[in-house]
Chain A
């Protein structure tokens, strides 16, 4: 009887120690699922989902508190990939019109140098300092539109990226249709 008790509690102690060791030394940094979701999201950091950026939204999806169809730039295609990853039901988010890459442009004549847009930019794509002209580094701009509302003089507009032979795309070949008499 006593031997049995000792054996059982010994096993329990050993397993408990092993689990405790594992939880300390094999701890997973961050949430791997959230990272997988973050990799799918388009990283425009536009906050249109209601979360301050793509990563917070990914974390919210991973913890189950957010729906998967809140990402506007990702569109239905993005929702489909998320649904597949998470084994959840696909929920359409309605048609998103195909957008060309857009970038913010500051009208440098009108800018008063208030730095409000700089504070709003999620990817640090605007340079400038107080009372100095600001400008957008278009290479880094994701076109998230977050800099538009804070501007007190409405000097920021969105412009399509110019087409160059480098970013021009060949069209899908037109399949010749036969006329049936």
Chain B
């Protein structure tokens, strides 16, 4: 099956730097002395601890239940003892700490008894709940809970193997070595979403991965075939041109189907949904093998002795992983994610999480320091490069002047921070930094306004209530007085009135 390919506007072609890490098979890493499993492993929700300090846990045992509809569960990455439940730094640009469960491995790696779920017999709801309970989130980096996405009903399922960011090769290696699982996972997702067509998009700079995936689709496992309703032709592997950011959800949808996703529109409303190849792999392992997400493949590259891809247990401190790969001298900082969209880690104590696809040790030779920012010359190269049709220089002026309303008017929130504009800018302006700043300022301002509106309505309600209480009290007293008067009049007892008058006089005197 051949399909016509489309083009999205803009995009850049940075040096790929894939060869450094893509030529070595995926390796296992030795267990560190402590595994720090953060409760927050997805972008939308958290987990609730269900173990206490001192508990013995088995590999794959649930240690945190999914909290709420959007939450995903977390599991012990190895067998051992819960040593501590405390706050540890997150792999986040802020370096803030978050609640985590610390496990001391016993070195035995004993798995909990697995309970596979056959997609052919299990109900739709059972499968979705299993995906949530297995802790599956988008493994491409965004960490969006997969069970929420798997609920959608769509026409076309897209499996994202584009991996367009330079340096990152974890999806490439995964597809080369575990193509069968990826294909089976994709077939299960197709069954769940009711898709009639599955397109696996892979950039053409990964010929080995394309070949491996095509072989896997041809020799599809019986389980996968059953999910596709015995129609293997539904799934096809498409080589897409190498152009950053093809791996962006909307860009890949555009390239493979020609659908232009308008800003603010959910892709499911257009009958499309996108999953990363590593997510598809995790779905296959979770359902057919009963294995929850306890590890992920991480690319470690840049200024290290042994670059490559590693199967890393979740919660392994980044410093330990880098030590295993041999951090070379001259490393100035470590980036998480690719050089285009990633960020510099504020602390290497942070543990590996489900959304962590790549660590790059940066040295001044590999990543020369950004030259000083020059004034914007309005060359509009950023506009040409922007893949979502924005005018980054307009956004830049607005953000730089902290003119937040203007930035919003120029559709700041359509920006996905892909970094194409900053990459082409001849004045070396860190455009994305300005946009991130303006976005968080706008969010904070909106929060403040919401809080002020809430305080106003609560204050007004309280004032009204106090007024009402005062009026009610006055009415009650008046009623009582009237009642007493009426009673006195009814009794016709002048003595009573006289006594009452006397009494009130006494009270007044006192």
A44 at interface (Cβ–Cβ under 8 A)?
A: yes
Since A43-B451, A55-B459, A165-B94 are in contact, a sample of 4 more A-B pairs with Cβ atoms closer than 8 Å, ordered by chain A residue number, is A43-B459, A54-B459, A124-B461, A178-B372
* Bound-state Cα–Cα, A45 to B434, Å: 34
* In contact, A42 and B452 (Cβ under 8 angstroms): yes
Question: Which residues in B have their C-beta under 8 angstroms from that of A169?
Answer: 437, 440-441, 444
Known: A169-B444, A176-B371. A55 touches B437 (CB 8 A): no
Question: Which residues in B have their C-beta under 8 angstroms from that of A25?
Answer: none
* Bound-state Cα–Cα, A106 to B440, Å: 31
* In contact, B373 and A175 (Cβ under 8 angstroms): yes
Top 10 A-B pairs, shortest CB-CB distance: A176-B372, A43-B452, A173-B433, A43-B455, A123-B458, A169-B440, A170-B436, A168-B94, A170-B437, A43-B456
Q: For residues 33 through 59 of chain A, which have their beta carbon under 8 Å from a beta carbon of chain B?
A: 38, 42-45, 53-55
For the complex formed, measure the closest distance between the CB of A134 and the CB atoms of chain B, giving whole angstroms.
Answer: 16
B370 at interface (Cβ–Cβ under 8 A)?
A: yes
Q: How many B residues are at the interface, by size bracket? A: 20 to 34
How many chain A residues touch the partner (CB < 8 A)? 28
* In contact, B455 and A123 (Cβ under 8 angstroms): yes
* Bound-state Cα–Cα, A21 to B484, Å: 44
* In contact, A45 and B94 (Cβ under 8 angstroms): no
B430 at interface (Cβ–Cβ under 8 A)?
A: yes
For the complex formed, measure the closest distance between the CB of B150 and the CB atoms of chain A, giving whole angstroms.
Answer: 25
* Bound-state Cα–Cα, A175 to B433, Å: 11
Question: Which residues in B have their C-beta under 8 angstroms from that of A122?
Answer: 459, 462
Instruction: Say which residue of A43, A125, A164, A168 sits within 8 Å of B453 (CB atoms).
Output: A43
* Bound-state Cα–Cα, A124 to B454, Å: 11
* In contact, B96 and A142 (Cβ under 8 angstroms): no
Known: A54-B456, A142-B451. A176 touches B373 (CB 8 A): yes
Question: Which residues in A have their C-beta under 8 angstroms from that of B93?
Answer: 170
Question: Which residues in A have their C-beta under 8 angstroms from that of B378?
Answer: none
Interface residues of B (CB under 8 A from A): 90, 92-94, 96, 98, 370-373, 402, 430, 433-434, 436-437, 439-441, 444, 447, 451-456, 458-463
Question: Which residues in B have their C-beta under 8 angstroms from that of A168?
Answer: 92, 94, 96, 440
* In contact, A123 and B462 (Cβ under 8 angstroms): yes
* Bound-state Cα–Cα, A171 to B436, Å: 8
Question: Which residues in B have their C-beta under 8 angstroms from that of A142?
Answer: 451, 455
Question: Which residues in B have their C-beta under 8 angstroms from that of A171?
Answer: 437
For the complex formed, measure the closest distance between the CB of A146 and the CB atoms of chain B, giving whole angstroms.
Answer: 11
* Bound-state Cα–Cα, A42 to B453, Å: 9
* In contact, A163 and B459 (Cβ under 8 angstroms): no
Question: Which residues in A have their C-beta under 8 angstroms from that of B433?
Answer: 170, 173
Question: Which residues in A have their C-beta under 8 angstroms from that of B96?
Answer: 163-165, 168
Question: Which residues in A have their C-beta under 8 angstroms from that of B452?
Answer: 42-43
* In contact, B437 and A172 (Cβ under 8 angstroms): yes
A140 at interface (Cβ–Cβ under 8 A)?
A: yes
* Bound-state Cα–Cα, A175 to B462, Å: 48
Known: A53-B463, A170-B436. A140 touches B94 (CB 8 A): no
A23 at interface (Cβ–Cβ under 8 A)?
A: no
* In contact, A165 and B440 (Cβ under 8 angstroms): no
* Bound-state Cα–Cα, A168 to B97, Å: 12
* In contact, A44 and B455 (Cβ under 8 angstroms): yes
Write the chain A residue with the least CB distance to B453.
Answer: A43
Question: Which residues in A have their C-beta under 8 angstroms from that of B371?
Answer: 176
Q: For residues 141 through 181 of chain A, which have their beta carbon under 8 Å from a beta carbon of chain B?
A: 142, 163-165, 167-173, 175-178
* Bound-state Cα–Cα, A124 to B463, Å: 10
Question: Which residues in B have their C-beta under 8 angstroms from that of A55?
Answer: 456, 459-460, 463
* In contact, B455 and A170 (Cβ under 8 angstroms): no
* Bound-state Cα–Cα, A173 to B434, Å: 6
Write the chain B residue with the least CB distance to A172.
Answer: B437
- Supply 25 A–B pairs (Cβ within 8 Å), ascending by A: A43-B453, A43-B456, A53-B459, A54-B456, A55-B456, A55-B459, A55-B460, A122-B459, A124-B462, A142-B451, A163-B96, A165-B92, A165-B96, A167-B447, A168-B94, A168-B96, A168-B440, A169-B437, A169-B441, A170-B433, A170-B437, A171-B437, A173-B373, A173-B434, A177-B372
* Bound-state Cα–Cα, A42 to B379, Å: 41
Question: Which residues in A have their C-beta under 8 angstroms from that of B447?
Answer: 167
Question: Which residues in B have their C-beta under 8 angstroms from that of A140?
Answer: 454-455, 458
* Bound-state Cα–Cα, A177 to B374, Å: 9
Question: Which residues in B have their C-beta under 8 angstroms from that of A175?
Answer: 372-373
For the complex formed, measure the closest distance between the CB of B329 and the CB atoms of chain A, giving whole angstroms.
Answer: 26
Question: Which residues in B have their C-beta under 8 angstroms from that of A44?
Answer: 455
